[in-house]
């Protein structure tokens, strides 16, 4: 097995038209039913460059990755690989073309060893076509040596961290002599140390002439690692520039430079403290989280995926248990062993994953809405369809769910309407604290505005609301206060009047905390900005 021949690293400014791009995308479009995921997107990936691809949720990054990985086929547009027009038919074809994708959560075989995972499907064979384990081991070892990584290739993958599993995927791509390495949000669940290790390896690969597409929404990482960066917004290509000609502020402006019609939060008198959290810690997830939520207040949780926001919510709702810390609900210390206990205390949690955690897809709307409140609705055990429908009617009407009736199966509703049903379900439980985890993810603009109106009205009615969202304009428009999470800690608390996208983004990407020298050059302008937070 040979690695790609070491090529001289290509400096970003040495890139000229004479160098044929490794991958040349022209006019790529892709549509999913009502959503135009990608529209007329073009992108060049040069040999030996690390190319950052940034954009907000829904910008089209993942769709592009899936097209290159062969999972989706583009509706229109051309793909050229080393100058040759190509169509990518499927995952296996993509691999054989020398494109390797490392996902945020690697798809490995937990019971098999590291070495075997690297070589599965193309293991070296010995006599009689049997697998040459010694050879497999040696090659895996030499691969990891080339990456300058020490790893026991004979250990099973189960029990390894995400970061280590990603390294195995990278070693696998090397063993396949991949020319293109796509890292799809690889750092989302990695610690700072693990991120730095990954970067070291990616730089080594760049030195060998591998083209790397680095998909991320952590801007400091893009500056630390990438030669060029491309910004997508709402499925369109916005800009491609050398990172040294860009500032964080530029990038943020390009990413969020959209005007979203948001329903502005109605100013509401803020009441007493409903929920007070202090020193909340769950080992490995978050530490020393403290905040309070008042009646009528919307507290936004901003931050990157994996920063610990959902994990805090899960503890508050009794799904997971905390290791340390205190939670006061209306002044009384509480600890919930189960979601039902949290529910009885008046906490409701609209989960991140609507399909898997929010709804029973083949229950009717009425059945879904009443699921949490069944024991209260029917104290004498027997259910009454008429009561159920009445309750479901009341709350779905209030949220103007578009449906043929409350007997319609939830699975046949659109995403936005499904989300409203989840909201209706939790409103029916008459909570005091409502935790909303990514309430508008994956729903269309119209429904989004409606959900925002509902959230605003709920706050006005005196609920305390925690709004977890990765959608910056949403957090900014809706929240009275914004808490920014970074790697399991709250790094900034920004009141409504002072919140800007830049400030939140800087705190969320940890640009201000200069714990990595690598991040320093790009973060130059960031630090002065951060001082304002004091």
Partner 1 sequence: MSMTAAPARDQRRWMSLLARWETLLVLALIGLIVLGTTLSPFFLTAGNFSNLIAALMEVAIMAMPMTLIIVLGEIDLSVESMAGLSSAILGFLWAAGVPLWVGIAVVLVVGAFGGLLNGLIVARGGLPSLVVTLGTLALFRGMALIVLGPRGVSDFPDWFTAFGFGHVPGTLIPWPFMVFLALALVLGIVLHRTWIGRQVFAIGKNPSTARFSGVRVTRIRVSLFVLSGMVASLAGIILTSRLSSARADAGSGMTLTVATVVLLGGVNIFGGSGTIPGVALAVLCVAVMQNALRLASVTVEVQSIALGLLLILSVVIPTFAHQAKSALDRARRGRPPPADSIARGEAAP
Partner 2 sequence: MAETGAITTQAAVRTRGSVLTAFARQRELSLAAIMVVLGALVSIVAPQFLTISNLTAVAALASIYAVASVGEALVIITRNIDLSVEATIGVVAYCVASILERHVLDAPAAIVLGIGIGLLLGMANGVIVALLRVPSIVATLGTLSIFRGLDYVIAGSHQVPLAGLPPGFTDPARTNLLGLLPEFVVVALVVVVLGTVILRSTRFGRQVYAVGSNPEAAAILGIPARLVEFSAFSVCGLLAGVAGVMWVMFFGTINGTAGTGIVLSIVAAVVVGGVSTLGGSGTIAGAALGALFLGLTANALPLVGLSQFWLQAIYGIVILVAVSVDAVILRRLQRATAERRAR
155 binds, among partner 1, partner 2, none (CB under 5 to 8 A by kind): partner 2
Q: Which H helix or E strand runs over 27?
A: strand 23-32
Q: Nearest approach, Cβ of 472 to partner 1 (angstroms)? A: 14
Nearest to partner 2 of 121, 333 (CB atom): 121
Nearest to partner 1 of 137, 354 (CB atom): 354
User: How far apart, in whole angstroms, are the C-alpha atoms of residue 292 and residue 60?
Assistant: 36
Q: Nearest approach, Cβ of 473 to partner 2 (angstroms)? A: 32
441 binds, among partner 2, partner 1, none (CB under 5 to 8 A by kind): partner 1
Q: Nearest approach, Cβ of 163 to partner 2 (angstroms)? A: 8
Looking at residue 356, the DSSP 8-state letter turns out to be: I
Q: Nearest approach, Cβ of 123 to partner 2 (angstroms)? A: 7
74 binds, among partner 2, partner 1, none (CB under 5 to 8 A by kind): none
Residue with the two structure tokens 């796509």: 182
Q: Which H helix or E strand runs over 195?
A: helix 192-207
Burial 95-132 (b: 16+ CB within 10 A, else e): bebbbbbbbbebebeeeebbbbbbbeeebbeeeeeeeb
Q: By the 8 A CB rule, do 175 and 1 touch?
A: yes
Q: Nearest approach, Cβ of 262 to partner 2 (angstroms)? A: 36
148 binds, among partner 2, partner 1, none (CB under 5 to 8 A by kind): partner 2
> Structure tokens of 364?
């009717």
Nearest to partner 2 of 207, 446 (CB atom): 207
359 binds, among partner 2, partner 1, none (CB under 5 to 8 A by kind): partner 1
45 binds, among partner 2, partner 1, none (CB under 5 to 8 A by kind): none
List of residues contacting partner 1 (CB under 8 A): 32-35, 37, 57-58, 60-63, 185, 217, 305, 317, 319, 338-340, 342-344, 349, 351, 353-364, 367, 371-372, 374-375, 377-378, 381-383, 385, 404-405, 407-409, 411-412, 414-415, 418, 425, 429, 441-443
355 binds, among partner 2, partner 1, none (CB under 5 to 8 A by kind): partner 1
7 binds, among partner 1, partner 2, none (CB under 5 to 8 A by kind): none
List of residues contacting partner 2 (CB under 8 A): 91-92, 107-112, 114, 116, 120-121, 123, 129-131, 133, 147-152, 155-156, 158-161, 163-164, 167, 191, 196-197, 200-201, 203-204, 224, 283-285, 518
Distance of CA 154 to the CA centre of its chain: 32
User: How far apart, in whole angstroms, are the C-alpha atoms of residue 79 and residue 59?
Assistant: 20
Q: By the 8 A CB rule, do 372 and 425 touch?
A: yes
Nearest to partner 1 of 123, 508 (CB atom): 508
Nearest to partner 1 of 122, 376 (CB atom): 376
3-class state of residue 303 by DSSP: strand
> Structure tokens of 206?
């760049």
Nearest to partner 1 of 119, 336 (CB atom): 336
284 binds, among partner 2, partner 1, none (CB under 5 to 8 A by kind): partner 2
Q: Nearest approach, Cβ of 84 to partner 1 (angstroms)? A: 29
Q: Nearest approach, Cβ of 191 to partner 2 (angstroms)? A: 6
Nearest to partner 2 of 295, 304 (CB atom): 304
Task: Count CB atoms within 10 A of the CB of residue 398.
Answer: 15
Distances, alpha carbon 236 to alpha carbons 38, 44, 251, in Å = 6, 15, 15
Q: Which residues pair with 273 in a beta bridge?
A: 294
Looking at residue 305, the DSSP 8-state letter turns out to be: T
Nearest to partner 2 of 72, 503 (CB atom): 72
Phi (first) and psi of residue 422, to 5 degrees: -60, -40
120 binds, among partner 2, partner 1, none (CB under 5 to 8 A by kind): partner 2
Distance of CA 340 to the CA centre of its chain: 28
Give the dihedral of Cα atoms 521, 526, 527, 533; nearest 10 deg: -160
Nearest to partner 2 of 286, 301 (CB atom): 286
Nearest to partner 1 of 125, 412 (CB atom): 412
Q: Nearest approach, Cβ of 520 to partner 2 (angstroms)? A: 10
Q: Nearest approach, Cβ of 237 to partner 1 (angstroms)? A: 16
Q: By the 8 A CB rule, do 431 and 347 touch?
A: yes
User: How far apart, in whole angstroms, are the C-alpha atoms of residue 471 and residue 456?
Assistant: 16
Distances, alpha carbon 256 to alpha carbons 157, 265, 492, in Å = 39, 20, 20
200 binds, among partner 2, partner 1, none (CB under 5 to 8 A by kind): partner 2
Q: Nearest approach, Cβ of 57 to partner 1 (angstroms)? A: 5
Q: Nearest approach, Cβ of 261 to partner 2 (angstroms)? A: 39
User: How far apart, in whole angstroms, are the C-alpha atoms of residue 359 and residue 427?
Assistant: 14
Nearest to partner 2 of 372, 488 (CB atom): 488
SS3 assignment for 220-280? HHHHHHCCEEEEEECCEEEEEEEHHHCCHHHHHHHHHCCCCCCCCCCCCCCCCEEEEEEEE
């Amino acid at each position: 097995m040979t690695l790609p021949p070491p090529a001289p690293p290509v400096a970003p400014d040495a890139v000229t038209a004479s160098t044929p791009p490794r991958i040349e995308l022209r006019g790529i479009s892709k549509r999913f039913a009502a959503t135009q995921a990608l529209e007329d997107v073009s992108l060049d990936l040069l040999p030996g460059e690390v190319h950052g691809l940034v954009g907000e949720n829904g910008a089209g990054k993942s769709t592009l990755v899936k097209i290159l990985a062969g999972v989706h086929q583009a509706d229109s547009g051309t793909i050229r690989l080393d100058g040759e027009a190509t169509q990518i038919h499927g995952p296996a074809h993509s691999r054989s073309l020398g494109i390797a994708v490392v996902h945020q959560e690697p798809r490995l075989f937990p019971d098999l060893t590291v070495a075997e995972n690297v070589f599965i499907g193309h293991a070296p064979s010995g006599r009689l076509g049997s697998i040459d384990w010694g050879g497999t081991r040696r090659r895996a070892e030499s691969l990891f040596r080339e990456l300058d990584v020490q790893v026991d290739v004979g250990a099973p993958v189960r029990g390894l961290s995400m970061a280590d599993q990603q390294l195995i995927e990278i070693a696998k791509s090397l063993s396949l002599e991949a020319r293109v390495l796509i890292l799809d949000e690889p750092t989302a669940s990695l610690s700072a140390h693990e991120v730095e290790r990954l970067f070291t390896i990616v730089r080594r690969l760049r030195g060998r002439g591998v083209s790397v597409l680095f998909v991320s929404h952590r801007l400091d990482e893009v500056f630390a690692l990438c030669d060029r960066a491309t910004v997508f917004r709402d499925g369109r290509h916005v800009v491609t520039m050398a990172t040294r000609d860009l500032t964080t502020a530029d990038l943020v402006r390009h990413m969020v430079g959209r005007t979203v019609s948001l329903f502005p939060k109605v100013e509401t008198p803020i009441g007493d403290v409903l929920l007070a959290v202090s020193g909340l810690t769950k080992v490995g997830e978050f530490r020393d989280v403290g905040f309070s939520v008042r009646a009528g207040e919307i507290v936004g949780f901003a931050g990157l995926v994996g920063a610990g926001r959902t994990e805090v919510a899960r503890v508050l709702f009794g799904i997971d248990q905390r290791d340390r810390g205190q939670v006061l609900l209306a002044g009384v210390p509480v600890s919930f062993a189960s979601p039902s206990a949290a529910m009885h205390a008046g906490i409701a949690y609209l989960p991140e994953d609507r399909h898997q955690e929010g709804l029973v897809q083949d229950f009717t709307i009425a059945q879904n809405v009443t699921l949490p409140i069944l024991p209260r609705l029917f104290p004498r055990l027997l259910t009454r369809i008429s009561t159920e429908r009445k309750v479901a009617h009341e709350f779905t009407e209030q949220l103007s769910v578009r449906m043929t009736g409350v007997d319609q199966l939830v699975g046949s509703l659109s995403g936005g309407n499904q989300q409203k049903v989840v909201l209706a379900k939790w409103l029916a439980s008459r909570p005091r604290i409502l935790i909303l985890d990514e309430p508008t993810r994956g729903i269309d603009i119209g429904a989004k505005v409606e959900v925002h109106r509902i959230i605003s009205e709920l706050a006005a009615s005196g609920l305390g609301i925690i709004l977890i969202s990765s959608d910056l304009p949403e957090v900014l428009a809706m929240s009275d206060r914004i808490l920014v999470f970074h790697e399991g800690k709250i790094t900034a608390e920004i009141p409504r009047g002072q919140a800007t996208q830049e400030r939140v983004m800087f705190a969320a990407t940890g640009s201000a905390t200069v714990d990595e020298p690598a991040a320093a050059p790009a973060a130059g302008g960031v630090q002065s900005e951060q001082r304002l937070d004091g």
